[in-house]
Chain A
Amino acid sequence: MRVKVEVRLKPGHFDPEGDVAAKSLRDLGFPVSTVKVGKVYILEVEVDDREEALRLAEDMCKKLLANPVKDDYSVEVLSP
């Protein structure tokens, strides 16, 4: 199963990289008020069951890919 994991800072958390990107986009004339930067992980999870793949990916977020103190995450199956 190909799974997409997105990890991003929780709302209200200070995101300096996003702030700098927003500023630079405004410099170029784009009407951008805020940018939030996150990370995307594309995983090949070696299970056949969709629900199992999602459950494993959530567990991966809790144990490594995200720090629940500051990060939100979402998981999504891309292809069987």
Chain B
Amino acid sequence: MNANRFKALVLRTGGTNCDLETKVALEELGVKTEIVHMNSVEKKNLLEYHLIVFPGGFSYGDYVRAGAVWGKRVLAKLRLELEKFIEEGRLILGICNGFQVLVEAGMLPGNGAGETPSIALANNSSAKYECRWVWLRVENDETPFTMTMRKGEVLRIPVGHAEGRFLTRSEEDLEELKRNGQVVFRYVLPNGDDANGLYPFNPNGSMYDVAGICNKKGKVMGMMPHPERAFFGWQLPEWDRRPPEKGDGRKIFESIVKYLHDSNGL
């Protein structure tokens, strides 16, 4: 697949990590990718890009709350452009800290931007930083991020976070997310059965084992696990025992590229 005509923007700021891994993953699939620091993002026209990625890390030292400061900074600098970007149905992916940023900037689970979040990624119920491989089940295979997978498919991708416990304001809010198909990934047992909160398969105590959600249109997605850390076979735990050529995280990037092709960028 020739994806050269598609462009991705990976944003970074102090404390960001895996921005380079994300760029390598996208470029491996032919997407031209730029890493841009928040300090120079105003020089860029966001609408030149087909995908924006907010990568993981510990932006602004996780002060106040993980993702809060970067989230508000994004609103202060990019709000109007991002609203247009989202309205046009372009893709935004938030990974780990990037998911927290999308929540804090109001881009998830809603369709627009705003300062007051309506969900939370709270401290893990283990009270620890959880860095481990987890199993995710695809709950919605119709988003641009999962369209090459089938519903029920299980992916193995690592997490590394201290604040990832997904919370909604009420059970009703959660039901609405489920009804809208906004729950994209759930933590499961290795065989694909529900984790029902069982640690360490659900590593953080998330409600309904939620690992990733999208907005109503499915074009903005945030997930706590790091797909770019499971892209190549040599990144997997069995790297020294004839690993497969590809990791499961690659499927998410492949799906994005297929979507861009099928939709001609939008």
Contact = CB atoms under 8 A, between A and B. Distances in A.
Given A14-B205, A69-B120, A69-B169, A62 B126 contact: no
Contacts of A67: 65, 68, 104, 117, 120
Nearest to B117: A67
A65 B119 CA distance: 15
Nearest to B71: A64
Interface in A27-80: 62-65, 67-70
A63 B205 contact: no
B168 interface: yes
B103 to A, nearest CB: 8
B59 interface: no
Given A14-B125, A16-B127, A64 B64 contact: yes
- Chain A interface size range: 10 to 19
Contacts of B120: 67, 69-70
A42 B120 CA distance: 24
Nearest to B125: A14
Given A69-B167, A69-B169, A63 B127 contact: no
B127 A17 contact: yes
B68 A69 contact: no
Contacts, number: 42
Nearest to A14: B125
A62 B169 contact: no
A63 B115 CA distance: 5
A16 B125 contact: yes
Given A69-B167, A69-B169, A70-B167, A63 B125 contact: no
Interface in B104-152: 104, 115-120, 122-127
A65 B64 CA distance: 6
B124 to A, nearest CB: 8
Contacts of B168: 69
Interface of B: 64-65, 68-69, 72, 104, 115-120, 122-127, 167-169, 205
**Smallest CB-CB A-B distances: 7 pairs:** A16-B127, A69-B120, A63-B115, A70-B120, A67-B120, A70-B122, A67-B117
22 contacts: A13-B122, A14-B122, A14-B125, A16-B123, A16-B126, A17-B123, A62-B115, A62-B116, A63-B72, A63-B116, A64-B68, A64-B69, A64-B72, A64-B115, A67-B68, A67-B117, A67-B120, A68-B116, A68-B169, A69-B117, A69-B120, A69-B168
